[in-house]
Structure 1
Amino acid sequence: MRGLGSPRGPEFVTLSMRDSPEVAAAPGVVVPQGPRTAPARPKAPPRGRLLVTAALVAAVTGAAAGVAGARLSEGSEPAPAAAALPRVAPAPSASLSGLSATADRVLPSVVSVEVGRGGGSGFVVDDRGHILTNAHVVQGFDQVTVILNDGRRLPAQVIGEDDDEDLAVLEVAYPGDLAPATLGRSADLAVGDQVLAIGSPLGLSGTVTAGIVSALDREVRLGGARRTAVQTDASINPGNSGGPLVNARGEVVGVNTAIASGRGGGNIGIGFAIPIDRAAPIAERIIRN
């Protein structure tokens, strides 16, 4: 099984619309070529060049006018100030609310996991330096690098994995630099609840996407067997693997792990997270052992 990684490494776990995961390829960018112009008459200078030239002329003219104006104003009354265009008054500062407050509360607990040329995401689960992620993100590695929300890089050791559940725990030597996330209860989720997926899709750390809980106890193939998962339409892409799915209160309710994709690949709004009620005891067991 291949995982939900960044473009640099372990690919994101994607699930076909039937029964087995397929890798969702990031859609390519096609640059259309414009039609050829008939050489009926001499070509006009490129529009971009005209704009640049006009800007230069305007700058030079403006500078000359400024110098002339300065000379004319010597010994004369100061010219009246130009009328300012109306602008929107600055909004009064206020504390964040809603999903903005939720994201602000959780982001310090989310890390990027760098593994060789690949990677994924993870989140801090306690004040002793332990980070939960997916097993497929760190598969084959004993040492990785975690990148904190403020950009600091810390070495981390893989202290244990559960391949069947696709979960792994990392440990850093400087727990004081980490902010533990608050774990919630996936059993309390209801279809339609608002959720956020946070991680490093395509290597873009600290990315937050929003959606709802689309289904509960959805049976999909995760790790080495079929497991139940929380289904969400929050956008999940390569690099999100191991990052948290959080409820509107900022509590972690799942570990983002897989997506379903159509023939063309890419995210189609069907993502899956390991319920935190199942993930937390596994993390505790790995930490104890």
Structure 2
Amino acid sequence: MTRWIFTSLALTAIVLTWTPHLPAQGHSPSPRPGTIVITAALVDHDMQVRPVPLHALLLTGARAESFATRTAIDGKASLVVPPGTYTLTSVAPIEFQGQRYRWKLELTVGSGGTSTVSLTNDNAAVEGAPTPAGPNAVGVRADPATALFERLSRSVFRIQAGLAHGTGFLTDTLGGVVITNAHVVEAAEGDEISAVVDSATRVRAQVLARDPEADIAVLRLHPDYVVHRFRIPLQHPVERAPVVPGERLVAMGYPLNQGLTITSGIASSVRAGAIISDVNINPGNSGGPLLNADGEAVAVNTFGDVSGRGGPGVSGSILMARAGPALARAAVELTQTPSPSSGVLPSMPTDQVDVGTVKAQADTADPDNYRDFAGRGVGGFEVTIQTPMQTLVAVKAYENDIAKDRKKREARAGLPESQRFSEVREYRDWAEYVGAPTAPVVSFAIIPKVGETGGSLFKRLMLGPNLKATYKFKGDVRGAQVFRNQEPVEPIKGGHAPMKVFVENQWVSLKDVADEGFYVFDVEILRPDASGAPPSIVVAIRDLKSPKDLKCTEVSADVVAQAWNDFESFYQQNRPQAGFHRANPGAASERKPAWSADFLKDDCKWS
């Protein structure tokens, strides 16, 4: 991206207002909008005039209406606004030759008139010189994290892309586009990309441009979801490096299984294309803003460099200047494609199941009631239905299976319960904060089966069973759709990701890659009708190995009913107003199976 250089005028600030001649008496036209023409320029030490490019400004009227603009490369900008009195303010200061300049001017716009405003050295508030990096640099710049979080938290979004997630942030360019990393969205299809703009609102996100080399992507949301949010200014340094070693920086994002999180640190070094810092970032932070003390985005958090021997490592953030080519392509795309849908998508519930209650229920549950939840064969796949209860019952069964002898030894030794081996004990009240299954959702895991190839089987039958067997994945998830009573249901999140296996020994060869699928839905998908009959739930899988046909199965009424009934205590504790009545699988006994009702008749191979 071109580095912009100031070459501009610095004149004493002048506000000129031109009022047109009044029309002939006898007719009073309604007030016409006026125009404001803004020129921003500074004089350098050599008395050369340098324009101030890409400087974000906010115009606020007496009635609290506001208009945002930004100077162009030549330091000029214009706005058409209703007549009235306004305050023109810099969104963030501009740093120039060791000082920070910020403007705040009053001006009046007449009906149909033009107001000219010059922003110069003489009418700027000079906020002081930033101290060069050194022993006392940290003391000069106080930690800005608290104020930045309060100001920018509504402008940093969780970007959901299939099974992966990252961070994106609303910028003050191109009318308010979202910038993130290209690798955050690269593996997802168009309808799998969304933005969680607050705890209860997830909306479609449209990819306008990707730059894989710079690892930058530009997204667009429907205007309704950005219009009242602060737009983070992008830093465009005039004559210096974007940051200096030792400068305090702040990162915002959605790391790991956490909500919006803020971390801070200092710049360690500035490379040609990235800032290296000790700011703590993790998977999920990718695409989030790295901010300076003024709240400007100086870089996009992208990668970590961590030692395998332990230690915190360092973080890498792609310089904002590298977003230029992607933003240029996005500007063209904005004029050629319609805005994404304004509809709200299902989002992860904010209430959680009580871990103690579910653990107590799992301790007394009969594992046989959950055997049909897992391992249902569907073509070349196995499908498992997962809920918090099913997960804990499966963990408990696994614990009993592998620790049978250990439990006998513990009993003979008289160990207290708190010292005995337990997988279930690890699920505690804080489990939701580390990604444990405590959300009131139902998930469908689709795992490719592994099987011996036909050629390998034939060879061993003909030449002897002791020959090495060759195995491959029998399915490869390309997508899936879940239907409730024959209507498609939008998942909270879902997608497919590769699973890689490499086994090579004298008996077996298994070297293959195939995608597994995982799709998460609100538990309401399981709600029975007034008679207690559970809904028909159908899973349809697209297989890359045979893309012309869907692999379909209908979940048994017993499994759907059991999964729903396990949430009874949750509804009583958390959603009493929603009502809960137990499902009765017998009430669905006369319902025709989906495969016999011509549902997806020409598309599915049923299992």
TM-score by length of 2: 0.29
Change (3 A) 1:179 1:280: farther
Separation in 2, partners of 1:246, 1:199: 12
**Aligned-CA RMSD value:** 2.3
Aligned position for 1:241: 286
Aligned position for 2:265: 211
Q: Note if 1:117 corresponds to 2:168.
A: no
Aligned position for 1:103: 149
Deviation of 1:270 (Å): 0.4
Q: Note if 1:257 corresponds to 2:302.
A: yes
Deviation of 1:258 (Å): 0.5
Aligned position for 2:182: 135
Q: Note if 1:163 corresponds to 2:212.
A: yes
Q: Any conservation in 1 of the 2:211–2:325 contact (CA below 8 Å)?
A: no
Which secondary structure state, in structure 2, belongs to the residue aligned with residue 113 of structure 1? strand
Separation in 1, partners of 2:288, 2:320: 12
Deviation of 1:287 (Å): 2.8
Which of these two proteins has the greater Rg computed from alpha carbons? 2
Which secondary structure state, in structure 2, belongs to the residue aligned with residue 268 of structure 1? coil
Deviations 1:240-263 (A, max 9, x none): 000000011111100000010112
Separation in 2, partners of 1:105, 1:131: 17
Separation in 1, partners of 2:259, 2:175: 23
Separation in 1, partners of 2:309, 2:228: 41
Aligned position for 1:277: 321
Amino acid at match of 1:171: R
Higher strand content, 1 or 2: 2
Q: Any conservation in 2 of the 1:202–1:238 contact (CA below 8 Å)?
A: yes
Q: Note if 1:179 corresponds to 2:247.
A: no
Change (3 A) 1:151 1:255: farther
Which secondary structure state, in structure 2, belongs to the residue aligned with residue 197 of structure 1? strand
Deviation of 1:145 (Å): 1.2
- The structure, 1 or 2, with the larger RCO (C-alpha pairs under 8 Å, 6+ apart) is 1
Separation in 2, partners of 1:274, 1:208: 18
Aligned position for 2:383: none
Match for 1:232 among 271, 274, 277? 277
Deviations 1:32-73 (A, max 9, x none): xxxxxxxxxxxxxxxxxxxxxxxxxxxxxxxxxxxxxxxxxx
Separation in 2, partners of 1:183, 1:109: 13
**Number of residues of Structure 1 aligned to a counterpart in Structure 2:** 184
Separation in 1, partners of 2:156, 2:164: 17
Q: Any conservation in 2 of the 1:110–1:124 contact (CA below 8 Å)?
A: yes
Aligned position for 1:152: 201
Deviations 1:95-134 (A, max 9, x none): xx94311222222211000111111001011373421101
Change (3 A) 1:215 1:117: same
Deviations 1:219-253 (A, max 9, x none): xxxxxxxxx31001000101000000001111110
Q: Note if 1:194 corresponds to 2:194.
A: no
Structure 2 unmatched runs, 5+: 1-142, 334-607
Separation in 2, partners of 1:284, 1:241: 22
Separation in 1, partners of 2:247, 2:269: 10
Structure 1 unmatched runs, 5+: 1-96, 219-227
Separation in 1, partners of 2:200, 2:290: 21
Change (3 A) 1:152 1:129: farther
Change (3 A) 1:209 1:128: same
Separation in 2, partners of 1:110, 1:259: 20
Which secondary structure state, in structure 1, belongs to the residue aligned with residue 271 of structure 2? strand
Identity of aligned residues (%): 35
Separation in 1, partners of 2:145, 2:154: 15
Aligned position for 1:19: none
Amino acid at match of 2:151: R
